[in-house]
Amino acid sequence: MKIPELHNYLAEFLSPAINPLKLEKGANKDYYLWLDWTEAAALYPKLAEDGFGLIGLFGVEGFRGYQGLSLLYIFEKRNYSGTLVIIRRADSPVSSIAAIFPSACYFEREIRDGYGCEFENAFDRRRLFLHETYPANFHPLANSFKNQPLSLPAGVENEALYPFKKISGEGVYEVGVGPVHAGIIEPGHFRFSAIGEPILNLEVRLFYTHRGLEKLAMGKDIDFGLKIAEGISGDESAANTYAYSSAVEHICSSRPPRRAEQLRLILLEMERLYSHLADLSGMLTDVGYPVGAASLSALREELMRWNKRLTGSRFLKGIIAPGGLLKDIPGELITELADYLYAFEGRFSEQVEKALAKTSVVDRFETTGIVNNRLLIPLNITGVTARASGEAIDTRLNQPYGFYPELSFKLPVLPEGDVMARFRVRLSEVQTSLGLILKTAAKLSAGEYAIPLKPVNGYSLVLVESPRGQSLHWLWLRDGKIERYKVRTASYCNWQAIEHAVLGDIIPDFPLINKSLNLSYAGTDL
């Protein structure tokens, strides 16, 4: 299926209010439009009415000759290939657009923390990634800020504590979970308001794992940037290094060899396989079916060992790089992998059939944790969660990249939006990933696995479909160094879905709903 190009649509959409000739093409399929505030304010409602969603918003200093702070608003119209980037200078009062695009709320709070830019009419002015112990007027993403030891205040006054929303009424009580949890998981705080057993409200507070990766990337070379991409989220190493490498390649107007693109696809789908197996197993654990969970965990462990054989890393690190791959993967090993996956498919299907035959599993999965379809575009919810709520979106198909345009596959879409739908979508995606790997292995090309790249000045925006959904990477290179590297993973937006998914369910169902959404803490907090 041929996806229509966004550029052709934009030319008609913008005219006559805005001259389409102002639209500049980036290194990929990103189209840049410089607007003053009056032009932008008039365009935002029109974009929302026409089905555009805000998928990213971040700040950049010194961009395109302007030394101050520029704000880049990234818009996507689903089922169109390309992205619209509206750029405006933050040299005058900046108005919040969260009332038009709710996904802007997190983005605006992040910019406020990072740069000190205030958004007029913002309905949420709380800090996001800077917690209470950070001093006032501390804005680490500004170019004027230099990394140095931070002197923390001796104490925190009560009025400085994070103001959670208060839900009051007869019989309403609060339950706080985290940020420190039992088990080896990352920190996150969940503040429940309940009446009896049903959940009336949930507020999530994250960003306890902030590592300052965006600041760390500034001024570093391309090789160092690859290490940063690799460490964003441990179980999305292939997706993130692929996106980073693709951004470098687009800037350099280069494309890796065909063999490298094929092997990259195999690695990306191996990552999707082991990620989905972990989720499926975890969901069965959370409903008290350990036999099924253990069986799927055993299959996942086999995949992880295959990752080790293929790349030297169970999490597929140290392999994907700008220009292709850091090392080749022998063809005979890919043939052996294909033979294994043929047998794997039958074993996987057998265990899944047993799990879905258990009434205790079906009863807990069905009608639990529903994510309403109307939330998907406003909150930019993507991935399995979106497809299980009736939205036929997948970056591999809607914004095709790499070797994916040469392959076809059917997108699993279910309307229910509950835990069972997300379970079944993952089952279908396991089958899809197996098919993509086997098709690619059968036509694996000979030849080079990498090409040398000569860094040039430029910037590029890349979208990829990680196991969790759509991730966005924007890279700006100048004189061989990174001026700005911005990453927005799928989890960053998808976390907001859980506050809606739990409403009306009971607190004991929260771990199951959480696992069914498969959200990353570290991947949200760079």
The answer to whether residues 190 and 510 touch, using CB atoms and an 8 Å cutoff, is yes
Instruction: Please list the ranges in the chain whose pLDDT falls under 70.
Output: 1, 17, 20-21, 151-160
- Considering only CA atoms, which of 346, 519, 334 is closest in space to residue 438? 334
In sequence order, the β-bridge partners of residue 72 are: 58, 87
**Helix, strand, or coil (residue 27):** coil
pLDDT at 158: 44
Encode 97-108: b = buried (16+ Cβ within 10 Å), e = exposed: bbeebbbbbbbb
Beta strands, E only, 153-234: 172-177, 189-195, 199-205
Q: State residue 185's pLDDT score.
A: 82
The CATH superfamily label for domain 6-120 reads NADH:ubiquinone oxidoreductase Nqo5 subunit (3.30.460.80)
Tell me the longest C-alpha to C-alpha distance in the chain. 71
CATH code of the domain occupying 213-517: 1.10.645.10
Residue-level pLDDT at 116: 93
Burial of 415 per CB tally in 10 Å (0-12, 13-18, 19+) = exposed
Nearest to 110 by CA among 100, 99, 122, 121: 122
DSSP helix/strand/coil, 443: coil
Q: 């695009």: which residue's tokens?
A: 101
CB 319 within 8 A of CB 226: no
- Full-prediction pTM beyond 0.85? yes
What is the C-alpha to C-alpha distance for residues 392 and 384, in angstroms, rounded to an integer?
Answer: 10
CA distances from 461 to 176, 384, 476, 487 (A): 39, 23, 9, 10
pLDDT for residue 134: 84
Of 496, 526, 493, which Cα lies nearest the Cα of 56?
493
Rounded CA-CA distance 205/165 in Å is: 11
For 191, half-sphere exposure in the C-beta direction (CA atoms, 13 angstrom radius) is 11
* Domains of the chain, residue spans: 6-120, 213-517
pLDDT at 17: 67
Distance between CA atoms of 341 and 299, rounded to whole angstroms?
11
**What are the φ and ψ backbone dihedral angles of 205, each rounded to 5 degrees?**
-120, 125
Helix, coil or strand: residue 417: coil
Length of the chain: 526
Q: What is the pLDDT of residue 154?
A: 59
Beta carbons of 286 and 512 less than 8 angstroms apart: yes
CA atoms within 13 A on the CB side of 250: 24
Rounded to whole angstroms, how far apart are CA atoms 210 and 113? 12
Cis peptide before 400 (omega within 30 of 0): no
